[in-house]
Chains A and B, each alone.
Chain A
């Protein structure tokens, strides 16, 4: 079946511009996660959506970052007034929740953001 898809695959933007990154999770997956991966760094958690619950935004680095998930499916991560330090690969993952023995997250290919 189809995996997690993300668009665009690459985005180059000028400092100060806003960008929107899109994630289509696996159909039926109730949980959706956004991570940021900087060069040589591990994955940094940004935000987590689970069903209709309020999202866990504890990982968002500043108020320039926001995300929404419409209809429990597609999610958009928005970065306002981009800065050079925002340059990274933004990864989206989805998973089934409720199975106590599984925490497997399925990742998309990522969006490589470059802020010039």
Chain B
């Protein structure tokens, strides 16, 4: 079964703690993305990576960090510097081989992070 997995589904963080959200894909896609979703709002881009060992900041990167050591994996760390981290976090990948599908993004099931 090809797809994107995210873990954990729910995550609770105390103030001042760093937490890491996992994202794994077996679609052989080159590009991966992290989005944040707040209630009643669209998704906003945090970070993206087009290739292993390379990543770029999105619109709201402050307080977050990522790594891309393997093609399949793109973990997101929410640091204590992120002042309002409670949100729903979605990971996506892109990279279909067909020219018509190469721009289509596929999403994981999400991780809901709550700060206690």
User: Are the chains A and B members of one assembly?
Assistant: no
